[in-house]
Amino acid sequence: MVNELILETDHPMRRIFIGKVVAHIAVGESGERLANAARVLEELTGQEPSLRKARRTIREFGIRRGENIACMVTLRGEKAYSFLKRALAAVGYTISRGSIDERGNFAFGIKEHIHIPGVKYDPAVGIFGMDVAVALERPGYRVSRRRRRRSKVGKGHYVTREEAIEYIEKVLGAKVI
């Protein structure tokens, strides 16, 4: 695969790749704005987004429990890699060191979706910000998700923060500041 990093050991189980990329737009209300946000996500990713419900009622914001207030898409494989490259271009190929956790996952926000290359402004849709979360994995992470004989991933097999930074800089071409 194109989006893999093999470290100095060259062992096939030590290679790092993108497990998934999650793009999320929180609108805070249901209706036309949420439908427009879902349309934007579908145009950007080529996948139908799923709607997310409010967990509790917040009267000050006019949010009721169970009301659809956000939409999100989970991307895997080549779709994830190509979307991530475009999303990184929107933030200038820079990621804050503080946005990378100890397990190698990282996240960043895009203030306006029109900053993504190839996206034109449509006044009927509006402008939306989004969050992009990326999970880096190694082969063998499936044991924690499978249905039968589920097990834990060993501590030494997790992607560390330093390995994630190396992956971001070498494979994705972004700078960690």
* Cβ atoms < 10 Å from Cβ of 6: 12
Q: How are beta strands 106-110 and 130-137 bridged, if at all?
A: antiparallel
Domain spans, the chain = 12-176
DSSP H or E run through 34: helix 32-45
CATH code at 12-176: 3.30.1440.10
* Segment 53-103, tens digit of pLDDT: 888 888 888 888 988 899 999 999 999 999 999 999 999 999 999 999 999
Sheet holding 50-53, edge to edge: 50-53, 68-75, 17-26, 130-137, 106-110
d(CA 125, CA 26): 15
Give pLDDT, residue 129: 93
Note the pLDDT tens digit of each residue in 107-163: 999 999 999 998 888 888 899 999 999 999 999 999 999 999 999 999 999 999 999
Contacts of 72 (CB under 8 A, 6+ apart): 22, 23, 24, 25, 41, 49, 50, 52
63 neighbors 1 (Cβ within 8 angstroms): no
d(CA 99, CA 42): 26
The pLDDT of residue 6: 65
* Per-residue pLDDT tens digits for 7-49: 666 788 899 999 999 999 999 888 899 999 999 999 999 999 9
| Number of residues assigned to the chain | 177
Distance CA 131, CA 25 (A): 7
Compute φ and ψ for 14, nearest 5 degrees. Answer: -95, 0
